[in-house]
Structure 1
Amino acid sequence: MTTFLTDADVRAVFDWREAIAALRSAYAAPPDEARFPPRTMARGEGLWLRTLSGVPGDGSPMGAKLIAASPRNRRASYLIPLFDQETVELRTLLDGNSITGFRTAATSALAADALAPVGPLRVAVIGSGFEAQHHVRALAAIRELSSVTVHSPNPASRTRFTEQLGSLGPPLHTADSASAAVEGARLVLCAARSRDESPTLREVPPGTTVVSIGSTLPEQRELDTEVIRNAELIVADMVHEVAHETGDLIAAKEAGIDFAGKLVALADVVSGRVSPPDADAVVVYKSVGSAVQDLAVAAMCARRAAELSLGTTLPVTVCPVAK
């Protein structure tokens, strides 16, 4: 039978440490485009439907994430089906809304842990919404944070950010500008785009690790071209898509910046096949999201839900047919 997990079920069973551990295991394998092909995007008038699919090599559930979005109406729906690799039965159907935010932040924490200097981290956050908050929570689950400074255009949003993360532990501060927030930080989390799609992060000092997750489409911008120019290493969850389908890298290429030789896959960093540069280098992790992340976190949530007897058994299921 098929179990359906609502968004509330997903939030009830989710655990940051277990999610990051599942992602670490998933990214230990070499990149395999046959198992995790590039995402597809169908576009209509003010609508788009994105599909991310994958077949994990460790035998864990295969599946996909479907995202139906109407940017003009500021609405989106997320659905994740998980199929048993042996029987091809539909075992779990999940509302993917919270998983999307959880997996992005958990993967960023995995990347930051591998790339940022060892020891307590002084963190700057550009953006104050749920993605920004998730990223701080994810990072705090596996690293000691000496301080967190947030900037977003709205002072009330900055205050709300510090109030909602007040119980996390590290000192929380607000800044009136991105440059003020970044000053002295060793890790910068970029989780917001400007309304006019101009870069929100224009420069960072040597020795800074930058995590950028807020610009995933050609028309979106988050990082100035100088940040890309000065980076010694650029790590991507999906190398081809980051290079050719994100506004930040498209703008860098148009500015004449040759980044191909310093762009590597997250899997190569997590597995140790590529070593982080020296501590005084600028390093960028750029994320567009991938099925590797969705399926690893969704499978973890499905397993924990089964252990806790959470979820709804559907009265019907999708039955495999002989071919």
Structure 2
Amino acid sequence: MTLLLDDAVVRQVFSWSGATSALREAYAAESESARFPPRSMARGEQAWLRTLSGAPGDSGLMGLKTIAVALSSRRVSYLISLFDQSSAELVALLDGHSITGYRTAATSALAADMLAKLGALSVAVIGSGFEAQNHLRAIAAVRTVDAVRVFSPRPQSRARFISELSDLGLAISAEDSAEAAVREATLVICAARSRDESPTLLGEWLAPGSSVVSIGSTLPEQREVDPETMRRADLIVADELREVLDETGDALAARRDGIDLDSKTVSLSDLVSGRAPGRQDDQQVLLYKSVGGAIQDLAVAAMCVARAREAGLGATLPVKITPVAK
């Protein structure tokens, strides 16, 4: 029978290390673009419906995430549907709200683990909200972190960030500027766009050998890192190659400045599978840029389903949706 997981169960069974491992397997297997087609958008006057779908190359569960938005009431619903690739059976339905946040941070942790220099990391976090907190939790699950410096515009937000992450047992300090947080960092996490869409990270601040995670510029009008960051990057890794290069404000601004991005940008799939090299020396500046994709949602959702079954959690659909012979 089809398993149903609400958001509470998803949170209960979720594991950062499990998610990162599932994503590593998914990206190592994914190679054909047809497996993960471009996302689609249906727009009404006061609503829109976005769909991300995929059939993973590891022959695991295929499926889709549907995002429904009612603009008039400012409400959003996330639904993930998973199907067996060999039988077409509907295996699970999940509330995708928390998965959407988890998968972004877990994928960033996978990329950072592969790009950052060996050894304990000194982490700078620009931003203090949900994504920023998730990213630090995800990084701490895969790498040793010896120091964290956080900046966001409001001192109260910085204090809350430190308080809410106290369970990690990390040395976290608040800084009064993004530059102060970034100057000595080996890993920089950008998880907050400025209100006027000006970059929050300037490339001149970066120390040699640093790695950058950028998740906040996913549309042409959005900005997070400046052109100098992308100029200094010896390698750019993109979770969705064409979307990052052609549809993000950071990449468009860099192109206007005459920066050749295509020659130094590779897909996360090529990095994880070994088809593209990662860090070549300790002085390189490396950049991971993310816009999100179905492969991330499906890998993390499938991991949650497996862990829920092992724990005997979730409910079952009271009726069966039977595949039809064709």
TM-score (norm 2): 0.95
AA aligned to 1:236 is A
Count of aligned pairs: 323
Partner in structure 1 of residue 282 of structure 2:
279
Deviations 1:52-103 (A, max 9, x none): 1111122211001112235786542211000111211111000000001111
2:212 to 210, 231, 236: 210
Measured after TM superposition, the shift of residue 322 of structure 1 is 2.6
Q: Deviations over 1:269-297 (max 9, x none)?
A: 11222222322111110001111111111
Structure 2 CA distance, aligned partners of 1:74 and 1:292?
Answer: 27
1:174 aligns with 2:174: yes
Cα 1:200–1:174 change in 2 (3 A) is same
> What letter corresponds to residue 31 of structure 1 in structure 2?
S
Shift of residue 42, structure 1, vs aligned partner? 3.2
Determine if the alignment matches structure 1 residue 65 to structure 2 residue 68. no
Q: Counterparts of 1:170 and 1:259 in 2: how far apart (Å)?
A: 36
- Long gaps (5+) in structure 1: none
Query: In the TM superposition, what is the alpha-carbon distance from 1:48 to its structure 2 partner?
Result: 3.6
Change (3 A) 1:242 1:44: farther
State the partner residue of 1:255: 257
**Where does residue 20 of structure 1 map in the other structure?**
20
Any conservation in 2 of the 1:202–1:223 contact (CA below 8 Å)?
yes
Amino acid at match of 2:287: V
Inter-CA distance 256–42: structure 2 relative to 1 (3 Å threshold)? farther
**Please, which runs of 5 or more residues in structure 2 have no aligned partner?**
none
Structure-1 separation of matches of 2:297 and 2:242: 18
CA contact (8 A) 1:233 1:277 kept: no
Give the equivalent residue in structure 1 for 2:186.
186
Instruction: Give the corresponding residue for 1:313.
Output: 316
Question: How far is 1:27 from its partner?
Answer: 1.2
* Partner Cα distance (1:252, 1:144) in 2: 33
Give me the whole-angstrom Cα distance separating, in 2, the residues matched to 1:108 and 1:57. 21
Counterparts in 2 of 1:1-323, with a 5 A limit?
Answer: 1-45=1-45, 47-69=47-69, 74-203=74-203, 204-275=206-277, 276-323=279-326
Q: CA 1:184 to 1:45, structure 2 compared with 1: closer, same or farther past 3 Å?
A: farther
More deviation, 91-100/218-227: 218-227
Q: 2 CA distance for matches of 1:113 and 1:91?
A: 32
> What one-letter code is carried by the residue in structure 2 that aligns with 1:115?
L
1:44 to partner: Cα distance: 4.1
CA distance in 2, matches of 1:195, 1:257: 26
Q: 1:178 and 1:9, CA in 2 relative to 1: closer, same or farther beyond 3 A?
A: same
Contact 1:232/1:277 (<8 A) preserved: no
8 Å CA contact retained: 2:29, 2:56: no
Q: Measure, in 1, the Cα distance between the counterparts of 2:155 and 2:73.
A: 26
CA contact (8 A) 1:232 1:283 kept: yes
Most deviating of 115-124 and 51-60:
51-60
Tell me which amino acid in the other structure corresponds to 1:13.
V
Q: Which moved more, 1:94-103 or 1:273-282?
A: 273-282
Cα distance in structure 1, aligned partners of 2:105 and 2:293:
13
1:173 is paired with a residue whose SS is strand
Q: Cα offset for 1:50?
A: 2.1
Q: What is the Cα deviation at residue 161 of structure 1?
A: 0.3
Measured in 1, the distance between the counterparts of 2:130 and 2:152 equals: 13
One-letter amino acid of the counterpart of residue 271, structure 2:
V
Q: Quote the offset at 1:30 in angstroms.
A: 4.7
Shift of 1:46: 5.9
Amino acid in structure 2 at the alignment position of 1:293: Q
Counterpart Cα distance in 2 of 1:110 and 1:222: 21
Question: Could you report, residue by residue, the CA deviation over 1:300-319 in whole angstroms, capped at 9, with x for unpaired residues?
Answer: 00011111111111212322
Structure 1 residues 4-58: Cα deviation after superposition (integer angstroms, max 9, x where no partner): 1000010000011111111111111252111112222334446443221111122
- Counterparts of 2:313 and 2:209, CA distance in 1: 45
Q: Given the two structures, how large is their TM-score scaled by the length of structure 1?
A: 0.96
Offset at 1:255?
2.1
Structure 1, 53-62 or 40-49: larger mean CA deviation? 40-49
